[in-house]
Amino acid sequence: MYDSIFKAQLFAGQTIIVTGGGSGIGRCTAHELAALGAQVLLVGRKAEKLQKVAGEIAEDGGKADWQACDIRDEEAVKALVARLMERFGPIHGLVNNAGGQYPAPLASINQKGFETVLRTNLVGGFLMAREVFNQSMSRHGGSIVNMLADMWGGMPGMGHSGAARSGMDNFTKTAAYEWGHAGVRVNAVAPGWIASSGMDTYEGAFKAVIPTLREHVPLKRIGSESEVSAAIVFLLSPGAAFISGSTLRIDGAASLGSRAWPLGKARNSESYNGFHRAYLPDVLKGKE
């Protein structure tokens, strides 16, 4: 069973959507929310991945359903939210986790590639949030957590993703202000380097760099999926009832400082991993 730091049944009676719930941080977050009593609704493009995670959650005694949907398709998102509400009632939480990108310098990214990443990481999240608000949260209140990344100093090598994530940060602030009157909170998390399955999708030079990333983190390690999930769960919880429009960085302070200040040797920093079904990405095996 998931070893969450939060109290049992924290989300009992609540329905929470997790996009991109078929793998990585989304999968971990869905497991933790289900372990805390939520009815989790997994959304993503690949049905087989969603089915597998829903099966895992059911095996662990949780409640999960799934719906395949391309969140970049406006009409599909409208229909998805209507379908979920008809079956499960009001939506209490939305974890806008779905996203994706590929490494490339700006000079070699064509228009189609740039727009595809923006649609996946920004437009899709906007559509999901807008429809959940319009169809449910505008009447019942709720909480939305958006997914960003460490893009505070630009995002060299992934400029398309950096532009999208920066846009999502601003969208988070605007939505929090416009929707607050309805009892809707909108926040975001910005993970740094996290040991997640997405690391195994990279090839070439970037793949070779991944095992060395910890040396550029003041805490001298890579984060766990559980550490991101815990932040998301907190922002969804009553403990964050007066937090809205904020972005929580989960990066071990990697986004701070400068190369002019040398980092010390690693000591006293232990990773939290409450996810009983977590596994180490292949690219990090033998490196931890």
- Is 4 in contact with 32 (CB distance < 8 Å)? yes
Rounded Cα gap, residues 166 and 110, in angstroms: 20
* Residue 270 within a domain: no
Answer whether residue 286 shows pLDDT above 70: no
* Residue 124 within a domain: yes
pTM of the entire predicted model: 0.93
Compute the half-sphere exposure of residue 157: CA atoms within 13 Å on the CB side of its CA. Answer: 8
* Residue 95 within a domain: yes
**Dihedral angle sign, alpha carbons of residues 99, 254, 271, 206:** positive
- Is 96 in contact with 25 (CB distance < 8 Å)? no
Residue 216: the pLDDT is: 86
| Unique residue bearing structure tokens 């995002």 | 155
Range of the domain at 125: 15-253+279-284
Cα distances (angstroms) measured from residue 130 to each of 71, 74, 104, 282: 12, 10, 31, 37
* Residue 65 within a domain: yes
* Tens digit of each residue's pLDDT (9 = 90 or more) over 47-103: 999 999 999 999 999 999 999 999 999 999 999 999 999 999 999 999 999 998 888
Domains contained in the chain, number: 1
Which CATH number goes with the domain that contains 125? 3.40.50.720
* Residue 64 within a domain: yes
Residue 281: the pLDDT is: 80
Range from 79-83, 120-124, 272-276 carrying the lowest mean pLDDT: 272-276
Cα distances (angstroms) measured from residue 110 to each of 103, 105, 116: 13, 10, 10
Rounded Cα gap, residues 256 and 263, in angstroms: 12
* Residue 244 within a domain: yes
Classify 184 as helix, strand or coil.
strand
* Residue 1 within a domain: no
Contacts (Cβ under 8 Å, ≥6 apart) of 262 = none
Q: Strands (DSSP E) along 45-152, which ranges?
A: 63-68, 93-96, 142-147
* Residue 273 within a domain: no
